[in-house]
Amino acid sequence: MALPNGSGGYQIGDGNRNEVILGYSASPQTATATATLTAAQVVGSILVANPSTSAATYTLPTGALIDAAVPSATVGSTFELSIVNIGTSSGTVTLSVTGSTGVTDGGNALTAIAVTASSRFLFRKTGDATWVVYRFS
């Protein structure tokens, strides 16, 4: 027997497979000048960056802080972060892992994000308090 789907969303089994699969995203987090990001900003799924007049570097939190923000994560668990840069003409945004014990660059994660551009990142748990971050776009 299929699970009821209520008034929309995806149903497992014999449901209407043409319906949209719904997700959830909290209100976007924000950042401006160079700073160390909080775990909440990283796991919040959307970060709107607005470096006012110059480039900004956002240092990622430690792996232990990310673990504390997602306590149910196990090795192989992932989450995504999209960074949208709405800064001015010289306001590129770059992620940094300097001082972010337990967080490493898995591929192009530390490349600057141009003004009026966005990038998606995948964080993958590789052990206790250790995460690898990959850049998709």
Parse the chain into domains and list their residue ranges: 29-135
**Least confident residue range of 38-42, 88-92, 123-127:** 88-92
User: What is the pairing mode between strands 78-85 and 118-127?
Assistant: antiparallel
Number of H helices, E strands in the chain: 2, 9
pLDDT bucket at 53, cuts 50 / 70 / 90: confident
**Mean pLDDT in residue range 108-132:** 96
Dig out the tokens for 77 from the structure. Answer: 């668990």
Greatest Cα pair distance in the chain: 59
d(CA 66, CA 72): 11
Dig out the tokens for 130 from the structure. Answer: 């250790």
pLDDT at 11: 53
pLDDT at 22: 75
**When comparing pLDDT for 63 and 11, which is higher?**
63
Share of the chain above pLDDT 90, in %: 72
**Mean pLDDT in residue range 32-40:** 94
- Residue pointed to by tokens 């990142």: 121
φ, ψ (nearest 5 deg) of residue 117:
-120, 170
Residues 94, 114 contacting (CB under 8 angstroms): no
- Residue among 58, 45, 54 at smallest CA distance from 87: 54
**15: pLDDT strictly greater than 90:** no
